[in-house]
Amino acid sequence: MEKITVVGAGAMGRQIALQCALSGFNTSLNDSRPEGLVAAEAFTRDYLDGRIAKGKLSEEKKAAALANLRFCPDLADAAAEADLVIEAIIEKFEPKAELFQALERICPPKTIFGSNSSNMRGSRLAETTNRPDRVLNIHFFNPALVMELVEVVVHPKVPAEVTEAVVAFCRRIGKTPVVMRKEIPGFIVNRIFRALTREAISLFEEGYASAEDIDLAVTKGLGHPMGPLRLLDTTGIDVSYLARQDEYEETGVETARPNRILKDMYEKGEWGKKTGKGFYTYPKD
């Protein structure tokens, strides 16, 4: 595996692409919004300069990473020669399925398609393509440049050599992969996180304690580095709401149904840090 394409240059995609470029992969980053790519490029340069200022990166490594990373507004240009495409676009089934179908027309048959979805089973996306054996979940965590874990979630159509190639890729970019051999929406970490956040949100919406005190209780009482409500604001209320709503619509399982306040916040555009307001408010800068 040498050439990587990342589609979706938002919070996740820009960092996944940079991690690949820093690890020596020839990487293309695409976004359907030109301003998304401009912001991703600005982020990349700021991040690399910040690492240099902290003495964690050399000028040579910065130059090598920038040489490895292309910002491509055209999907065909970005993906035509990819060995692996990782999609990190909006957490909705239809756009992801449409993207994979478009990629199928662009990419050679060998190309593996990975979805960074936080929740959606890869087999649902695989079934919409003619290469179900090469479509699976490759789930990174936020911030992708820092968090080591990647969940590789396979389904019965994915042969061992594809899983092995993806696991080897994850290791080459310095990550720690875990393989889920049987699919379930939300995978491992988000299922556990969701159980925690469902209860934290419910305590908040029923008025039992403030967001600050709920988070303080979890950090000081359970030793978590960040409280669940602060973490929801950081990962994005929209991402959590859409993931849970998608699972609820697919499975009808009551525990997947988004809490009432999560739906309200999603509809009001209170998506956490990215919009300046979530469970907490954030200054503009």
Ligand X SMILES: NC(=O)c1ccc[n+]([C@@H]2O[C@H](COP(=O)([O-])OP(=O)(O)OC[C@H]3O[C@@H](n4cnc5c(N)ncnc54)[C@H](O)[C@@H]3O)[C@@H](O)[C@H]2O)c1
Binding positions for ligand X, 34-73, rule CB under 6 A:
36
Strands 149-153 and 26-30: unpaired
Shortest distance in whole angstroms from residue 58 CB to ligand X: 28
CB of 240 to ligand X, least distance (A): 9
Asked if 79 touches ligand X (CB under 6 A), the answer is no
Task: Choose, by CB under 6 A, the member of 89, 152, 218, 229 that binds ligand X.
Answer: 89
Q: Counting contacts by CB under 6 A, is residue 11 touching ligand X?
A: yes
Closest by CA to 78, choosing from 27, 20, 18, is 27
Closest to 139 in 3D by CA, of 103, 174, 96, 88: 88
Task: Report if residue 8 touches ligand X, rule: CB under 6 A.
Answer: yes
Calpha distance 114→6 (Å, rounded): 9
By CB under 6 A, residue 88 contacts ligand X = yes
Residues between 102 and 121 with contacts to ligand X, criterion CB under 6 A: 116-118
The smaller minimum CB distance to ligand X, of residues 38 and 52, is found at 38
Q: Which among 45-53, 87-95, 159-167, 218-226 is the span making contact with ligand X, rule CB under 6 A?
A: 87-95
Q: How far is the CB of 99 from ligand X (least distance, A)?
A: 5
Q: Does 235 bind ligand X (CB under 6 A)?
A: yes
Question: Which position among 4, 5, 6, 10 is part of the footprint of ligand X (CB under 6 A)?
Answer: 10
Rounded to the nearest whole angstrom, what is the least distance from the CB of residue 83 to ligand X in the complex? Answer: 19
For ligand X, the binding residue among 6, 12, 214, 232 (CB under 6 A) is: 12
Does 245 sit near ligand X (CB under 6 A)? no
**In the complex, which residues of this chain contact ligand X (CB under 6 A)?**
7-13, 30-33, 36, 88-91, 95, 99, 116-118, 140-142, 235-236, 239, 243
